[in-house]
A and B are shown apart, each in its own frame.
Chain A
C-alpha cells in the first residue's frame, strides 16, 4: 500500500451526522503529497479544508477511503499510535496561535520536547535554535499576552518546528495577522521549508499565502476542483 509518497489520500470521504441524516464534508478526494512540498489547500468557507487537514493530522478519521500518512493509515491507528504520529512526525499551526498563556515563550516552545522526553541540555539547545529561526531570541521569557499577534504566530511556528517534524499543518495561519506580519511569518516558513525540507500544508483562502505556495489544491464542496503546480523562477 506504500506508494512512495509522504501522504497518500485515496477516495477519501468524510460524513458528519446531521440530525437524522448525514452531511458530507469531503466527497471523494484523491491526492498525494511528497517531501518538501509547500502546498496550499484553497477554497471557500465550508469547502472542507479544515476537515481534510484534521484527517491528515490524525485528529480525525476518514468515513470512507484512506489517508496514509508516512506509511500509516490514519483510520486504522489506535489513539496511542495516532498520538505517537503527531508527537514525532507532525507539527500544527493554528489560526488562533493556541499558546499556553501562563507559560513563557521559551516554555511554550519547549513543551513538545518535554513530551518527547528529550533531556534538559538538548532541549535547551533545540529551543534556542527554534527561537533563532523565527527571530525571537530576545523574547524568551515573555508571556504570550505581552506579544503581538505576529510574534505569537512566530512562537507557534517555533513550537511546531522545534522537533523538526516531517510535516507541518497550518490552518489559516495568517487569518489574524496584518499584511506585514503575514509576509514575515510566510517568509519564515518558506525559509524553514528550504532549510529542513519540511513539508508544509496550508489551509487558506488568503491571497498573501497563495502568493508563497508552490502547489495549489482548490477544494469545492468537498471535492478537488483543481490541483496545480507553480514553477517559480
Chain B
C-alpha cells in the first residue's frame, strides 16, 4: 500500500510538489533562523564569558557576594596554587587568573601636577606568558586602534574614549590610583602602549588592560588573584559541563562557614546570564512554533485544494470498499512521506545557509553602537546537533496537522455524497 501511495505521490505533481516546496522552504528557514539565533545568543554568552564571567569562575565567597565592587581585599590568596590544582583536576577547561579592579587614571603634566583624571575599570590579565591565550580571548589584537600591544611590563592599553578625553597618546605615562589588597592607597605608573575600541560601550567607556603581574605589584597582591576563570576547551558554554565541574569543585573546596573559602560559580549564576540562557531556549521554541503554525496553515489550505481535486478518487475508493478511516489514514501516510522528504530537502538547504552564516556571519556593527550589554557585533550562526533535527519538527508536524485538518472534509461528507461528486 505504501508503495502504491508513493507512486501516486511521485507521479502526481499537484499532490506532492506544492506541499514539498512549502515544507522544504519552511524547514530551511527554521534551520537557518535556529542556527543563527543559537549563534547570536551563544556568541553573546561567549563574549560575556571571555571578558568577565568565564564559563565558570572561582572567587572567594565574600568576593562573589560583592562582585560589583571588585573587592580585591577579598581576593583568593593562594590563587597560583589553586590554578595549578584546577588545571590538573579539570583539564577540559582552560584556567586563567584575572584581577578586575576599579581606580582612577591620573595624567600628570610636565611639573607632575594632575592634568586630567578619569574613572577606570581595569583588567589584569596574562599578557606576556608565551602561549597565553588571553590577548586573543579578549580579541585585543584586533581592537587596538592607536599604538600597539604592550611588549613589556609597565605597558598598558587604554580605551580610546578615555584616552581622547584625557588627551593621551601612545607613549604617555599615567598613574593608576587604587587601593591595595590591604586597603592602603596604591599609586602605580604605567606607559600607554596603545588604545583600544571593543565596539561595546560597556568596555569602551574607561577600560585599562594591564599585565596581571603589574597589577599584582600595583595592588600588593603577590600570588593572589580576584578571580580564576575557567573556559571550556570546547569553545562554547556547555551548561552541563559547567554545572558538573562547579559542583565537583564546590564539594571539595567550598566551606560554607568560611567566607574566604573559594566558590565556583557557573556563567548562569553571574550577571543574569542564566536568564539569557533560559530565555534563549524560549526564543528558539517560539521560533519553531511560529514556523509550525504558519506551515500548518499553508498546508491545510493546500490540502483542502488538493482534497477537492481528489474527491472523485476518494469516492471511487469508498465504492470499491475502502473504509473512510483507511482513506484518511492513507492521506496521513502521504503527508508523512511528503513531510519526511520535504524536511530532508529543507535541512540540506538550510544547512548550506547555516554553514555560510557560521563562517561569514552578518556584520551589524552599525546597529550595535549604543548597546549597553556586552555583545559581539558580527552575528554568526552556530550549527549544533540540534540544528540537524530541529527542522523535522515543523516539517513533519505541519504536514500532519495540515492533512488532518483538510482531511476532516472526508469524514464530514456522506459516502453517497462523495460518490455523487464522482458522477459529476
Chain A: number of interface residues, binned into ranges: 20 to 34
What is the minimal beta-carbon distance from B3 to any residue of chain A, in angstroms?
Answer: 9
A60 at the interface (CB under 8 A from B): yes
Q: B319 and A86: CB pair below 8 A?
A: yes
Q: Please give me the 4 A-B residue pairs with the lowest Cβ-Cβ distance, nearest first.
A: A87-B321, A86-B321, A102-B11, A60-B416
Q: A98 and B322: CB pair below 8 A?
A: no
What's the A-B contact tally at a CB cutoff of 8 Å?
A: 77
A100 at the interface (CB under 8 A from B): yes
B7 at the interface (CB under 8 A from A): yes
Task: From B63-71, B78-86, B112-120, B310-318, give the one contacting chain A.
Answer: B310-318
What is the minimal beta-carbon distance from B307 to any residue of chain A, in angstroms?
Answer: 15
Q: A54 and B419: CB pair below 8 A?
A: yes
A95 to B320: give the CA distance in the assembly, Å.
15
B1 at the interface (CB under 8 A from A): yes
Q: Among the listed A95, A96, A107, A112, which residue makes an inter-chain contact with B321, where contact means beta carbons less than 8 Å apart? A: A112
**Nearest residue in B to A100 (C-beta to C-beta)?**
B313
B243 at the interface (CB under 8 A from A): no
A87 to B317: give the CA distance in the assembly, Å.
10
Within 8 A of A (CB), among B324-367: 324, 326
Bitwise interface map of B from 153 to 197 toward A, beta carbon under 8 Å scored 1, else 0: 000000000000000000000000000000000000000000000
Interface centre among A95, A96, A159 (most CB of B within 10 A): A96
A103 at the interface (CB under 8 A from B): yes
Bitwise interface map of B from 11 to 51 toward A, beta carbon under 8 Å scored 1, else 0: 11001000000000000000000000000000000000000
B423 at the interface (CB under 8 A from A): yes
Q: B321 and A115: CB pair below 8 A?
A: yes
A interface secondary structure, majority: helix
B109 at the interface (CB under 8 A from A): no
7 A-B pairs in the complex with CB atoms less than 8 angstroms apart: A86-B319, A87-B322, A94-B319, A98-B313, A102-B12, A103-B11, A114-B4
Q: B415 and A79: CB pair below 8 A?
A: yes
Contact A107:B419 (CB < 8 A) given known A57-B319, A100-B313: no
What is the minimal beta-carbon distance from A87 to any residue of chain B, in angstroms?
Answer: 3
Q: B423 and A59: CB pair below 8 A?
A: no
How many chain B residues touch A (CB < 8 A): the figure is 25
A103 to B4: give the CA distance in the assembly, Å.
9
Contact A84:B316 (CB < 8 A) given known A60-B416, A79-B415, A107-B7: no
A10 at the interface (CB under 8 A from B): no
Q: Which residues of chain A are within 8 angstroms of B423 by Cβ–Cβ distance?
A: 50, 94-96, 171
Q: Among the listed A54, A87, A110, A115, which residue makes an inter-chain contact with B416, where contact means beta carbons less than 8 Å apart? A: A54
Q: B318 and A111: CB pair below 8 A?
A: no
Interface centre among A88, A107, A110 (most CB of B within 10 A): A107
**Additional A-B contacts beyond A54-B419, A59-B319, A102-B8 (5; CB < 8 A):** A83-B318, A103-B4, A107-B4, A112-B321, A115-B321
Q: Among the listed B1, B11, B318, B321, which residue makes an inter-chain contact with A84, where contact means beta carbons less than 8 Å apart? A: B321
A38 at the interface (CB under 8 A from B): no
Q: B320 and A112: CB pair below 8 A?
A: yes
What is the minimal beta-carbon distance from A179 to any residue of chain B, in angstroms?
Answer: 23
Bitwise interface map of B from 127 to 156 toward A, beta carbon under 8 Å scored 1, else 0: 000000000000000000000000000000
Q: A79 and B419: CB pair below 8 A?
A: no
A110 to B1: give the CA distance in the assembly, Å.
11
A60 to B315: give the CA distance in the assembly, Å.
13
Interface centre among A54, A60, A83 (most CB of B within 10 A): A83
B287 at the interface (CB under 8 A from A): no
Contact A83:B416 (CB < 8 A) given known A98-B312, A103-B7, A107-B4: no
A92 at the interface (CB under 8 A from B): yes
Contact A98:B422 (CB < 8 A) given known A79-B415, A87-B321, A115-B322: yes
Q: Which residues of chain A are within 8 angstroms of B326 by Cβ–Cβ distance?
A: 115
A112 to B316: give the CA distance in the assembly, Å.
11
**Nearest residue in A to B4 (C-beta to C-beta)?**
A114
